[in-house]
Structure 1
């Protein structure tokens, strides 16, 4: 038996409790992993806050990284001592997959990585990037793969393209880095002058304070000579989607990723979507193949994740409070 943080019902931060879990020896096709770090996502906050119903006693956190401590019969991809990182959709290995098959994401509905050890099929992991810390690797599973899918797999961003990223969450920061590695010009938005300066240090070419410039879609048009951007990494939902459409070039690719401003869109400006012939592509993280490709791309481009603060496992509730405060810049992680 090993330590595990469990979410008891009714789901709230006060019902995160340190308990135990079993990590048995690996069977055929399985590996046993000593979890060393996990990362927090907006989605994890919805789970522990009760927005996404889960079973009593769930171990939260979808993103985990660690080292292999044992392998089962038939496993050749990993060996004891190797560093690995979890995948978000363990059933989605490559290509197309039906929504009905995406039923076992860690951290809800399946058990997550807020624990010391875990035994799972080897295909639930990929190797971690060479030279990465465990916390850096843990930051990749959800935010990194989502950004890779939006920028590379679906967006196919090319040198000379223009990309708009919103805010300073994990997906947006990874998208900025991936877009710059692809040779794109990046326009970044934030409501904080300090965070805008940090975005500039990461490579953003143009900055817009959306609190000072409410019609920031028009500001994007001005920065692009009236044309608009080729790609939008849309994470805000109903609070930002209208401005994103205004900022987009005719035929632009819009990656619909998150809804940090909520999930209900009362009015969708379909007229501008049709007039501009916009390509709307929803992103729900990505496949194991996307993660494998991302790891190779990270190593080739020497990209490092942006990490904020790290917390101990027993302080997981405080980690969520920090995430929900909005004061963070980059990924909030847990050392295990």
Structure 2
């Protein structure tokens, strides 16, 4: 088999916006090293991280000229280096975003900053070369489009719910999710599969209908109900609050998350999307008698655990209605308009 020497790809020339994202049809591939894998990319998904890197800013400096962006993607292995031990030609895999971590090592912020689509080439390409540690096998019940959504939103949601031993959601527990973003929808699906009661927050009736169609037991419109945290607590079976709150807003939502949580419950801080004038402190966590847990993504072992859970419960990630051919420059406009 003759391996490809070039790939079509999207690349960044400078970090001052999406307009610097250009398509190159014959980008030369690097030589496959002994611990690397050549993957034919079948699907890639877009994340807020990709837009933030495109715009640049503190801690978002890219690592090379003509960087291929993309945090998430899936495909088929075309070749492996001689030291690759866990993957084989023909395996269906998806990206893990990080680089060089052991199977059980939890990613830290600097690992994310050194990962795919920022310091090393990402997934918006036809063929890509990745370190063995940057890939995992996809769940057998998912297609490439579905598997391409797992690394950022899926794994973050899994870690939020199952990352703290002894605090995993059980049948009858209550989980609060915020909004209709990728992390929140994945957390909703995982929670329902575990038998938990799910309370969701959102800002419109249209989104509320979507959440209910996906199985949410209760939906709170935070634009209509001020103090959604207290409202969420009142909806729990015993009135004592949620066992887990998956917080995606950070500064903007933590105050309400603290109102929604029960004693000894867990607030999983997954995002930093919002801003607020009065941000809770560690002492607020003490007064609420709860656990507030921060993390980034999850380990490759957690990724494997999640994938087996997805297979066992036949969970299908919820995809955006707009799916683009990689050759179309509409990808750039989509990235710019989505956030």
Calculate the TM-score normalised by the size of structure 1: 0.90
Shift of 1:271: 4.5
Match of 2:17 in 1: 12
Which one of 144, 148, 156 corresponds to residue 134 of structure 1? 144
Is 1:213 the equivalent of 2:225?
yes
**Separation of aligned partners in 1, 2:16 and 2:251:** 26
Find the counterpart in structure 2 of residue 72 from structure 1.
81
> What is the CA deviation profile of residues 239-279 of structure 1, one whole-angstrom value per residue up to 9, with x for unaligned ones?
111111111111110101102214x7653254542122111
Counterpart of 1:49 in structure 2 is: 55
Per-residue CA deviation, residues 90-129 of structure 1 (Å, 9 max, x unaligned), is: 3333334574862531011221111111122223211111
Indicate how the Cα distance of structure 1 residues 185 and 70 shifts in structure 2: closer, same or farther if over 3 A, else same. same
Residue 143 of structure 1 aligns to a residue whose secondary structure is helix
- Does residue 91 of structure 2 align to residue 82 of structure 1? yes
* 2-structure distance, mates of 1:317, 1:53: 19
- 8 Å CA contact 1:93, 1:289 repeated in 2: no
4+ residue stretches of structure 1 with deviation over 6 A? none
Is 2:331 the partner of 1:316?
A: yes
Residue 242 of structure 1 aligns to a residue whose secondary structure is: helix
In the other structure, the counterpart of 1:297 is 309
- Tell me which moved more, 38-47 or 26-35: 26-35
Give the gaps of 5 or more residues in structure 1: 325-336
1:92 aligns with 2:97: no
Match of 1:334 in 2: none
Deviation at residue 317 of structure 1 after TM alignment: 0.8
Q: Any conservation in 1 of the 2:98–2:107 contact (CA below 8 Å)?
A: no
Q: 1:232, 1:248 within 8 Å by CA — same for their partners in 2?
A: yes
Greater RCO between the two (CA within 8 Å, min separation 6)?
1
CA distance in structure 1 between the aligned counterparts of 2:304 and 2:156, rounded to whole angstroms: 13
3-state SS in 2 of match to 1:156: coil
Q: In structure 1, how many angstroms separate the alpha carbons of the residues matched to 2:212 and 2:107?
A: 39
CA distance in 2, matches of 1:98, 1:126: 15
Q: Which of 23, 43, 49 in structure 1 is aligned with 2:29?
A: 23
Unaligned runs of 5+ in 2: 1-5
Q: Which residue matches 2:3?
A: none
The 5 A counterparts of 1:131-170 are 131-154=141-164, 155-170=167-182
SS in 2 for 1:250: strand
TM-score, L = length of structure 2: 0.89
Check conservation: 2:98, 2:114, Cα contact below 8 A. Answer: yes
Match status 1:233 vs 2:246: yes
